[in-house]
Amino acid sequence: LQLLCAWMIDSPITVAHFLANTANVPYLITQVSASDSDENESIVQGLCAFLLGITVLYNDEQNETFNKSSLRQIIEKRIGLETFTEKLSQVPKNESYTKAAKKPHVSYKQSSEVTFDYEFTRIFKALEVDALDAVSTDAGRKENKAKLANLQQHELVVNQYKDIIQEQDQRLNDLQQQFLELQSKHSMSGEEIRQLKDQVQQLKDQNSLLKVQKGAQSNPAADARKDEEIRSLQDQLEKMRLDNANKDSAIEKLKTDVTVLEARVVNSSEEDKENIVPSESEILQNTISRLQSDLQELRTSAAEKDNEISRLSVQNNEAEGQIQSLKQRLESNAETQADPAQLAKLMEEKMTLQERVKKSNEENLKLLDKFNKMEEEKNSVVSEKEGVLEELDTLKKEQEDLLVLLADQDTKIANYKKLLKENNIPVEDDDDDEDDDLDDDLDDD
């Protein structure tokens, strides 16, 4: 059908040869007047309607059976101008058409996905209005132009909304990736805390061994240094516990923001169901379902992270208790003196432990900074979502105004028909002629 349309453009001779076969026009009429079944069938019907419009637009009046006047009458009686316009407008609403019209070279994963090419979309845009004017009467051309303009405006708004949804989907995926990276680094921090706990236990065992082996008077200066180092270690562990609590609070806030975003997306999908054409509604609903699935995964990950932080807090408390017990034992055995070589080794291990604690604190600060960035991005997504909702409200109001204008126009048409009938002027109804067949139309001509 696309090949026939491109073949007959600006070629009255080609149109004449096409109309010479009397079976072509009845076939096109049958296809266009058929009921919609699926998306592909809608495309076929729209292309058949476009081909009929081309046969009228480039008709050279040489074929007496299918001249411009007779083709217009056939289309009006067998299809109806409103149905013809609706079938023709189904083509640019198709997702494959929209994708092909954006740029000349589009990549597809499979050849079965290719429906339209860029050249045909350019031809269709140039001749859609002309084809519609060719089959319309003078009285209905202005009305059809207005309807077509409204449909194009509606399509533009829907495409903008779809782009915004895709952008939000991308940002949500980026946010989820950052959350996973943060979870991995937090797990590494937990592993370091466990290693610190093991080192504290080793220090405890070594001190116990030294107490048993040595019974001489201990050096007061060395005991003072050990007490100071133990207090420093306790302070660092306390700071790490506070940092973990801050991360727990940040994760809870992130979970709350994700829940709010999920609720707004669901509300937006419910409000927009009546404002979007069926094909676009399905696309947006699938996108929203995917977003809800991603949000559920984020909530699950946040819950697991909450449990992990609680477990780390318990382990920190246990380590703190063990350090306190170690300090009490050292104070109770202040009169013992440790071997200089063992004390030097112990001091070296404590320095290593303090360095690891310092690195862990730096990692925690980096994690908190990433949490703050994630919160800012969430606020940006919520702000953009509110802007989309405002645009949808505006679109809904414009559609309501359009329905009011159409209702007023129907009332005026009914009044005009009534006035014509009162003046004994015959009025022809399209509905009465829909059951006429093609042969009767040809006989009338």
Residue 260, both tokens: 């709010």
From 27-36, 283-292, 361-370, the region with the lowest mean pLDDT: 283-292
- Do residues 184 and 122 both lie within one domain? no
In a domain, 199, yes or no: yes
Q: Whole-angstrom Cα distance, residue 187 to residue 94?
A: 47
- pLDDT of 288 higher than 50: yes
- Do residues 163 and 125 both lie within one domain? no
- pLDDT of 109 higher than 80: no
Query: Scanning the structure block, which residue is given the tokens 């997306």?
Result: 265
- pLDDT of 337 higher than 60: no
Q: Whole-angstrom Cα distance, residue 203 to residue 319?
A: 12
Most confident of 52-61, 206-215, 370-379: 52-61
More confident residue, 238 or 305: 238
Percent of the chain whose predicted confidence (pLDDT) is above 70 = 64
- Do residues 206 and 127 both lie within one domain? no
- Do residues 397 and 260 both lie within one domain? yes
In a domain, 141, yes or no: no
- pLDDT of 439 higher than 50: no
In a domain, 306, yes or no: yes
Residue 388, CB-side half-sphere exposure with 13 Å CA sphere: 24
Range of the domain at 102: 2-136
Q: Whole-angstrom Cα distance, residue 197 to residue 334?
A: 24
- Reported as a pLDDT band with limits 50, 70 and 90, residue 425 is confident
Which pLDDT score is estimated for 140? 47
Residue 20, CB-side half-sphere exposure with 13 Å CA sphere: 8
- pLDDT of 287 higher than 60: no
Calculate mean pLDDT across residues 48-58.
Answer: 89
- Do residues 363 and 316 both lie within one domain? yes
Q: How far is CA 329 from CA 101, 342, 353, in A?
A: 80, 18, 20
Task: State pLDDT tens for residues 18-38.
Answer: 888 888 888 988 888 887 667
More confident residue, 20 or 281: 20
Give the number of domains in the chain.
Answer: 2
- Reported as a pLDDT band with limits 50, 70 and 90, residue 99 is confident
- Do residues 257 and 356 both lie within one domain? yes
Most confident of 160-174, 251-265, 334-348: 160-174
Task: State pLDDT tens for residues 235-272.
Answer: 776 777 777 677 667 667 766 765 666 566 556 555 54
In a domain, 42, yes or no: yes
Calculate mean pLDDT across residues 121-140.
Answer: 78
- Do residues 112 and 171 both lie within one domain? no
In a domain, 445, yes or no: no
- Do residues 203 and 350 both lie within one domain? yes
In a domain, 401, yes or no: yes
More confident residue, 350 or 223: 350
CB 371 within 8 A of CB 249: no
Task: Judge residue 205's burial from the number of C-beta atoms within 10 Å of its C-beta, 0-12 exposed, 13-18 middle, 19 or more buried.
Answer: exposed
pTM of the model: 0.35
Task: Return the sign of the alpha-carbon dihedral for residues 162, 165, 167, 170.
Answer: negative
- Do residues 38 and 183 both lie within one domain? no
Which residue type is seen at 184?
S
- Do residues 39 and 105 both lie within one domain? yes
In a domain, 351, yes or no: yes
In a domain, 94, yes or no: yes
Which pLDDT score is estimated for 127? 85
Task: Judge residue 197's burial from the number of C-beta atoms within 10 Å of its C-beta, 0-12 exposed, 13-18 middle, 19 or more buried.
Answer: middle
From 92-101, 138-147, 164-173, the region with the lowest mean pLDDT: 138-147
- Do residues 345 and 245 both lie within one domain? yes
From 32-46, 89-103, 172-186, 301-315, the region with the lowest mean pLDDT: 301-315
- Do residues 187 and 127 both lie within one domain? no
Residue 75, both tokens: 């289309």
Task: State pLDDT tens for residues 206-233.
Answer: 877 777 666 544 555 655 676 676 677 6
Which pLDDT score is estimated for 435? 41
Which pLDDT score is estimated for 291? 58
Give the mean pLDDT of the chain. 74
CATH code, domain with 8: 1.25.10.10
Which pLDDT score is estimated for 273? 46
At CA 95, angle to CA 92 and CA 100, rounded to 5? 75
- pLDDT of 173 higher than 80: yes
